[in-house]
Structure 1
Amino acid sequence: MASEEGIRLRAIRTKVADTDATTAGRDAYDGEIGQEMEPVTPAGRMFMQPNLSCCIVCIIGFKNGINVAAMKKGLEETIVQHKRFSSVMKQDENGSKYWVRTKVNIDDHIVVPPASAINPESSNKIEDYAAELALALPFDQSRPLWELHILNVKSADAAASAIFRIHHSLGDGISIMSLFLASTRSVSNPISLPSVQPLSTEGFNSNERRAGSMYYYFSLFRWTCITIWCTLVEVGKFLLLLLGVKDSQTALKGSIGVGRLAKSISTANIGLDDMRIVKNAVGGTVNDVFLGIVSSGIRRYLQQHADKLAIHSSNNQGNHPVYGGTKEAVAARISIQDKCIDVLRIRATSLVNTRTQPGLPELSTMMQGGSQARWGNSIGYVLTPLCMKKHDDPLDYVRKAKETIDRKKCSLEAIFTYWSAQLILKLVGAEAAVNMSYNALVHTTLALSNMIGPLEEAMFFGNPITDIVPTVFGQPQALCIHLQSYMGKAKLVVTVAKDIIPDPDILLQHIVYSLEDMKQAACARTH
């Protein structure tokens, strides 16, 4: 996730929104502030439905204390100028919804909580405060759907923190991260924006493209056949998910209503260099390593719970004919539990950017719309199975993850899920589209996301950033895991429903330890 050059984000440049809305739409809002109107995208309408109302929450740590007045002024000059962050959602007499530009009172969007709102005894006071936003009141629909909480409180990694809370209908992670980065500057060169590494593109290499030979056409035909086959297989699995093929019930699996439960956030710093050592050992990518350590960590977590159950049972049940009381009986039960974990069905829903340009597009292009980069929620779901089989070689988890991700890269599953939701929404309505997406999420165990941040130290309105911690609230899953890169390091973020997973720190450590074991195994192979 690092490169020598990276891409450069251009400075923020706003553009008057397209006013080619319907005449009925214009007439419905004559006299209101700001007549710049834009139809709400299908995904935006879906995220406004109660069952799938999600919020993006991002903690930004700063090296110095936050000047509230300077923060307000900076926001007014940058983020507030963006059309989506200065619009409210309106509905005309025909039921069509539009984003309508409005005047923004910055004070309505800045929250400075009192000292009593922060637990001084907690070692994760900032994360705890952010987690409480999961139960916060819904956004006021008469204002743009975002807010910024400013906490001038020291934490382990920062002197102060700011927490963005943004409704998911405003845009996906790529859109919002692009907007945020376009408002930052490089610490080493304050007049330029920080560089961000692009993702590598997939497809034929340049030599094959230039060749124009029979080998090229054969490769194209072969690639097309593989894509069609993999798409049919993966789409078939997705349809089975919608029909009710659920994940195994484990200590990590939530149920209907879990999206509205209290949350807990745990974080850990991991080295991208460690992940590169592992990926090089198996010839994979950072995404392969991410999925591999999550699979291994979750298996360790479930194994630990199984071990406790077996030991607890043997200590309390004596020589019960089922539980047994000897060490041999306990060992036999653990062996059985190992085999049970091996066959567990645990899947993650991974959000994939469906834009034609990979990585983080330049904000100026995205804000202009068009086919190359689109602002909004241009994301599809990919159903990713996790390897639960026990492996003696830790690197085998990454190898299995690579097999899974390579198969996903050859399919159009993300595009299918994106466009099928759009089609259902247009033909049947938002409720049916939301039910489809909701079922896809509630039948799985967790959500996974990997977001790329700046390669160099960045500052937000003159204040250097120490770390970036993103997460999402509202999805019908008890577990959400994010990986956020910044300055050659990675932040691992585990967000859980506290009633389902009361010990997220243990799960987090299992994932971290899995990476350490894989690194040791990779280093041992090179000596």
Structure 2
Amino acid sequence: MESEEGIRLRKPDLKPVETKVKSKERDEEDKKESCTAEEEPVSPAGRMFHEPNFNVHVLAIMGSKYKIQPDVAIANAPKTLLKHPRFSSLLVEDEGGKMKWVRTEVDLNKHVIVPEIDPNIESPDKFVEDYIYNLTKTGLDKSKPLWEVHILNLTTSDAKGVAVFRIHHSLGDGMSLMSLLLACTRQVADPTALPTLPTRKSDGRNGGFIRRSSHCFFGIWWLLVLFWNTFVDVLMFMATSLFLRDTKTPISAPPNSELNPRRIVHKTVSFDDMKLVKDAMNMTINDVAVGITQAGLSKYLNRRYGEKNGYDKGASETKNNLPNKIRLRSVLLINIRPSAGIQELADMMEKDTEAKWGNWVGYILLPFDIGLRDDPLDYIRKAKKTIDRKKHSLEVLVTSAIANFVLRLLGIKRASAQSHKIFCNTTFVFSNLPGPLEEIGIYGHELLYLAPTSYGQPHALMVNFQSYINKMTIVLSVDENVFPDPYKLCDDIAESLKLVKDAVVKRGLSATAQN
């Protein structure tokens, strides 16, 4: 393994913590299964995340402003994380292959890992990167609850200490897991207050269409477009699950890429710059994130094609190295079960109340427009058009119903194979998560950045955007057999934001520029 020299694992001396058993709100589907207060069936999506071809783990990387005190974290874990049933339960599989969560005592010695690091290490940033890379070579031990935290106390270029949470995806969807971790944090300015997240304005999609159509003269047309978009999206989804593949490019994943370790890199850009563009162009942050990602991918692929062909035609809209009509899509896994908010999860941990939880996902296949544009704003205009079109569709609800039908009809193996085919026939995973609006600390440790990602998916690339105060962290999880230079892609995305922001300011489109 890389970067193992000079490392010894020191586990805190702590007795096992006995956790209390609490009841949990169940869906109608869960009620059909026999369970006791100490046992719960694993959801269908949770079982799928344990299939060999889809064994996905979530990583939440947190940079601390100060050296991390393991003893403080250990003392607080029983009052917070361990109050959640998933974090104090074993995954048990019976002889019939049925999986269930069984409550157990938690030995924190097996979950909090603190390596002793050579103080004279030459490159702390490279050490952290290689340490996480080595984590992605392995899965979590099923003889204990499926989570752990690694505390790396060394000074990097952007933190004094780094905590790496590793959590199996079967414990919950990415948004729920991040909400749970944030529910363990408090505002630095007010240690009694939970962090606040940006609120999203309702756009009336899906469930709001009845209200909109009743107040709109063209309501019938609006409904017809909704159903047509849904029909086309579901048709593309079905075709993708069977035969429709993205264009083979230099960033396409090879077979069995999900088994390869992942190189995790991140770069922080200005969230204020993204908000400036959003306001000036009357868009959402997600529109801007998708726009600069497709701009960065276009530049990166243009360079890779030039290297592959052995000559460079240029990097303009009319003269470049890109093939015509590249089909390149991202998979978005959307949790359609109402998720618990930060306050609800905090109440669960502090007051032993109940909170909604679970994996219940649908798919969205989001096309990315690959091509060089002389006008940087064309990238985000195209992104907004694509996303607005996707909002006017019931794709996520229908694909969730299809996945559930396949699971019930054909079983977990076949359903997993179909999901795996969808991932193999697309190019990457994309997500954008809103973060706290103020500085926060976890167990008294002030955080400088948040960088969530995952590994175990069949794609060679995963792109995550995570906001925090006035920062936006771009996180890439890559198969380095496909991406030997992931920092170049990070730089391409960051440079694309700068070009878009400069274009907005130069043309006087923003209130900042006008003032």
Task: Give, as a single letter, the amino acid of the residue that structure 2 aligns with 1:172.
Answer: D
Q: Deviations over 1:300-329 (max 9, x none)?
A: 11111233445x45xxxxxxxxxxxxxxxx
Determine helix, strand or coil for the equivalent of 2:463.
strand
Match of 1:65 among 50, 60, 67: 67
- State the distance in 2 between where 1:203 and 1:473 align: 34
- State the distance in 2 between where 1:283 and 1:41 align: 39
Determine helix, strand or coil for the equivalent of 1:202.
coil
Q: Which moved more, 1:514-523 or 1:119-128?
A: 119-128
The question of 1:197 aligning with 2:204 is answered no
The question of 1:463 aligning with 2:445 is answered yes
Q: Deviations over 1:335-377 (max 9, x none)?
A: 998374341111111222323579878426899xxxx974122
Q: Which residue of 2 aligns with 1:253?
A: 252
Q: Which residue of 2 aligns with 1:394?
A: 376
Q: Which residue of 2 aligns with 1:78?
A: 80
Task: Give, as a single letter, the amino acid of the residue that structure 2 aligns with 1:246.
Answer: R
Q: Which moved more, 1:372-381 or 1:280-289?
A: 372-381
Q: Which residue of 1 aligns with 2:23?
A: 16
Q: Which residue of 2 aligns with 1:482?
A: 464
Task: Give, as a single letter, the amino acid of the residue that structure 2 aligns with 1:88.
Answer: L
Contact 1:174 1:360 survives alignment (8 Å) = no
Contact 1:25 1:92 survives alignment (8 Å) = no
The question of 1:145 aligning with 2:146 is answered yes
- State the distance in 2 between where 1:332 and 1:470 align: 35
- State the distance in 2 between where 1:305 and 1:94 align: 49
The Cα of 1:177 is off from its aligned counterpart by 1.1
- 1:144 to 1:228, Cα distance in 2 relative to 1, 3 A: same
Q: Deviations over 1:47-99 (max 9, x none)?
A: 01111000001111111111111111111111011101111122345543221
Task: Give, as a single letter, the amino acid of the residue that structure 2 aligns with 1:375.
Answer: W
- State the distance in 2 between where 1:263 and 1:118 align: 26
Task: Give, as a single letter, the amino acid of the residue that structure 1 aligns with 2:449.
Answer: D
- 1:398 to 1:362, Cα distance in 2 relative to 1, 3 A: farther
Contact 2:25 2:355 survives alignment (8 Å) = no
Q: Which residue of 2 aligns with 1:363?
A: 345
The Cα of 1:183 is off from its aligned counterpart by 0.9
The question of 1:40 aligning with 2:28 is answered no
Q: Deviations over 1:399-424 (max 9, x none)?
A: 11111100111111112222222221
Contact 1:200 1:358 survives alignment (8 Å) = no
- State the distance in 1 between where 2:68 and 2:315 align: 55
- State the distance in 1 between where 2:491 and 2:319 align: 22
- State the distance in 1 between where 2:409 and 2:119 align: 46
Q: Deviations over 1:387-408 (max 9, x none)?
A: 1133221111101111110011
Q: Which residue of 2 aligns with 1:154?
A: 155
Q: Which residue of 1 aligns with 2:5?
A: none
Contact 1:71 1:461 survives alignment (8 Å) = yes
Contact 2:322 2:371 survives alignment (8 Å) = no
TM-score by length of 2: 0.86
Q: Which residue of 2 aligns with 1:4?
A: none
Q: Which residue of 2 aligns with 1:299?
A: 298
- State the distance in 1 between where 2:122 and 2:258 align: 28
Aligned residue pairs, count: 481
Determine helix, strand or coil for the equivalent of 2:115.
coil
The question of 1:500 aligning with 2:475 is answered no
Contact 2:182 2:342 survives alignment (8 Å) = no
Match of 1:108 among 100, 107, 110: 110
Q: Which residue of 1 aligns with 2:289?
A: 290
Q: Which residue of 1 aligns with 2:500?
A: 518
Q: Which residue of 1 aligns with 2:233?
A: 234
The Cα of 1:39 is off from its aligned counterpart by 1.5
Q: Which residue of 2 aligns with 1:434?
A: 416
Report the identity percentage: 37
Q: Which residue of 1 aligns with 2:3?
A: none
Match of 2:388 among 406, 417, 437: 406
Q: Gaps (5+ residues) in structure 2? A: 1-19, 509-513
Q: Which residue of 1 aligns with 2:130?
A: 128
Q: Deviations over 1:118-150 (max 9, x none)?
A: 9642534323321221102x3222211011101
Task: Give, as a single letter, the amino acid of the residue that structure 1 aligns with 2:145.
Answer: P
- 1:340 to 1:392, Cα distance in 2 relative to 1, 3 A: same
Alignment RMSD: 3.1
Q: Which residue of 2 aligns with 1:417?
A: 399
- State the distance in 2 between where 1:213 and 1:173 align: 31
Q: Gaps (5+ residues) in structure 1? A: 1-12, 27-34, 314-329
Q: Which residue of 2 aligns with 1:10?
A: none
The Cα of 1:18 is off from its aligned counterpart by 5.9
Task: Give, as a single letter, the amino acid of the residue that structure 2 aligns with 1:520.
Answer: D
The Cα of 1:489 is off from its aligned counterpart by 1.3
The Cα of 1:332 is off from its aligned counterpart by 9.2
Q: Which residue of 2 aligns with 1:322?
A: none
Q: Which moved more, 1:241-250 or 1:87-96?
A: 87-96
Determine helix, strand or coil for the equivalent of 2:431.
strand
The Cα of 1:157 is off from its aligned counterpart by 1.4
TM-score by length of 1: 0.84
- 1:394 to 1:115, Cα distance in 2 relative to 1, 3 A: same
Determine helix, strand or coil for the equivalent of 1:338.
coil
- 1:265 to 1:407, Cα distance in 2 relative to 1, 3 A: same
- State the distance in 1 between where 2:137 and 2:418 align: 25
Q: Which residue of 2 aligns with 1:318?
A: none
Determine helix, strand or coil for the equivalent of 1:113.
strand
Q: Which moved more, 1:281-290 or 1:92-101?
A: 92-101
- 1:281 to 1:22, Cα distance in 2 relative to 1, 3 A: closer
Task: Give, as a single letter, the amino acid of the residue that structure 2 aligns with 1:377.
Answer: N
Contact 1:199 1:359 survives alignment (8 Å) = no
- State the distance in 1 between where 2:95 and 2:32 align: 12
- 1:332 to 1:106, Cα distance in 2 relative to 1, 3 A: closer
Determine helix, strand or coil for the equivalent of 1:300.
helix
Q: Which moved more, 1:47-56 or 1:354-363?
A: 354-363
Contact 2:339 2:356 survives alignment (8 Å) = no
Q: Which residue of 2 aligns with 1:316?
A: none
Q: Which residue of 2 aligns with 1:166?
A: 167
Q: For 1:362-381, what aligned pairs fall within 5 Å after superposition?
A: 362-363=344-345, 374-381=356-363
- State the distance in 2 between where 1:427 and 1:309 align: 45
Bigger radius of gyration among the two: 1
The Cα of 1:292 is off from its aligned counterpart by 0.7
Q: Which residue of 2 aligns with 1:9?
A: none
Contact 1:227 1:412 survives alignment (8 Å) = yes
- 1:96 to 1:484, Cα distance in 2 relative to 1, 3 A: same
The Cα of 1:185 is off from its aligned counterpart by 0.9
Determine helix, strand or coil for the equivalent of 1:112.
strand
The Cα of 1:490 is off from its aligned counterpart by 0.6
Q: Which residue of 2 aligns with 1:324?
A: none
- 1:240 to 1:213, Cα distance in 2 relative to 1, 3 A: closer
